[in-house]
């Protein structure tokens, strides 16, 4: 086990939780799972996490003044700039440490949380800049595939046919037609970066990647598929069940790009058709009734199959070829 489970269990027992109960996220929301697992992994590894959050569900629901659910240092600045903000804090850490002005000698690790709106769309430049500059931080994207905090508007991460208020399914349209932006490839294409996908269905895979990301000297990025039960129109208990299906249908393959080297971290023995995943989520219901959506599903199936084949080839081709 890469993460020391004993330490994790002790932390839970001691209630020394970096991210506590009492926040106002919806029952069944997958975002707090991501936040809790990531910060507890950092603690278990002996790091002091300093957290940044982009404007979004996780931010508005955990820090309503004068309350906070964070027992570790936390900063929120705006929607599109958590990466730039945390890069400034990380620069301050280096400077103050170098100048002997830090009050603590505990090892600090910077973790930024952003939703898909703040990452794929409006915050992409800020994130790319911070990664390019090589700041030592871990960026965790909790991907719920839309602007869920403000009521389900379309993002660059929304899949085809997922009903969104700014690109709804209608009489003549099947909703959004574009596939999700491949955010991990985008970030993985930067230099000296560790980039990975993860899923709320597989906390151990996620925590192992958090550990890798934290230990990597430089920028790290993990995209976690984390459903919004409210706007995905799924039962509160079903988030991880759905993301498990996402992995099994190749919709959301679990892999990493470590300084250019591809590795698929979970290879399901048997794959299920993408349609099974789509049919399990309520937000596709309208599109599924649309006569033209059948073709979109076929295209999606082809897309995920081809992407998987490419991934296998990339894994083979990049073996041991660390760019740095």
List residues near another protein by CB under 8 A: 48, 50, 52, 59-60, 63-66, 68, 70-78, 80-81, 84-96, 98-99, 101-104, 106, 108, 125-126, 128-130, 132-133
127: Cβ contacts below 8 Å, ≥ 6 apart:
83, 114, 119, 139, 187, 221
| 250 φ/ψ sector (left φ>0, alpha ψ -120 to 50, else beta) | left
Contact 31, 232 (CB under 8 A): no
Give the nearest distance from C-beta 135 to another protein in angstroms: 8
Closest CA to 18 of 78, 65, 62, 60: 62
C-beta of 118: minimal distance to another protein in Å? 12
- Identify which of residues 14 and 103 has a Cβ nearer to another protein in the complex: 103
The minimum distance between CB 110 and another protein, in angstroms, equals: 9
Q: Kindly tell me which of 94 and 302 has the beta carbon lying closer to another protein.
A: 94
> Contact 154/164 with Cβ under 8 angstroms?
yes
For the CB of residue 113, give the shortest distance to another protein in the complex, in Å: 13
Identity of the residue, 70 or 314, whose beta carbon is nearer to another protein in the bound complex: 70
Contact 127, 83 (CB under 8 A): yes
Question: Least distance to another protein from the beta carbon of 208, Å?
Answer: 25
Nearer Cβ to another protein (80/167): 80
For the chain, the distance separating the N- and C-terminal CA atoms, rounded to the nearest angstrom, is 26
Nearest to 279 by CA among 269, 259, 293, 266: 293
């Amino acid at each position: 086990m890469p993460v020391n489970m004993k330490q994790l269990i002790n932390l839970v027992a001691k209630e020394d939780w970096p991210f506590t109960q009492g926040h106002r996220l919806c029952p069944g929301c997958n975002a707090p799972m991501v936040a809790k697992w990531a910060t507890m992994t950092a603690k278990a590894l002996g790091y002091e996490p300093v957290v940044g959050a982009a404007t979004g569900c996780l931010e508005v629901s955990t820090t309503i003044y004068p309350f906070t659910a964070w027992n570790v240092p936390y900063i929120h600045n705006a929607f599109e700039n958590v990466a730039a903000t945390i890069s400034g804090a990380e620069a301050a850490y280096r400077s103050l440490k170098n100048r002997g002005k830090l009050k603590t000698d505990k090892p600090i690790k910077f973790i930024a949380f952003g939703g898909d709106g703040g990452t794929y769309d409006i915050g992409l430049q800020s994130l790319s800049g911070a990664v390019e500059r090589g700041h030592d931080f871990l960026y965790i994207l909790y991907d719920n595939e839309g602007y869920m905090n403000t009521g389900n508007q379309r993002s660059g991460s929304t899949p085809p046919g997922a009903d969104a208020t700014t690109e709804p399914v209608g009489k003549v349209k099947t909703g959004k037609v574009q596939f999700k932006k491949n955010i991990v490839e985008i970030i993985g294409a930067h230099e000296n970066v560790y980039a990975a996908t993860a899923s709320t269905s597989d906390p151990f895979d996620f925590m192992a990647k958090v550990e890798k990301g934290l230990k990597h000297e430089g920028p790290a990025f993990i995209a976690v598929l984390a459903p919004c039960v409210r706007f995905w129109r799924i039962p509160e208990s079903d988030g991880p069940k759905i993301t498990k299906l996402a992995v099994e249908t190749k919709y959301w393959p679990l892999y990493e790009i470590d300084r250019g080297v591809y590795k698929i971290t979970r290879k399901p023995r048997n794959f299920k058709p993408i349609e099974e995943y789509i049919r399990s989520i309520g937000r596709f219901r309208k599109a599924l009734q649309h006569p033209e959506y059948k073709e979109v599903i076929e295209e999606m199936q082809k897309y995920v199959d081809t992407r998987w084949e490419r991934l296998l080839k990339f894994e083979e081709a990049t073996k041991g070829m660390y760019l740095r």
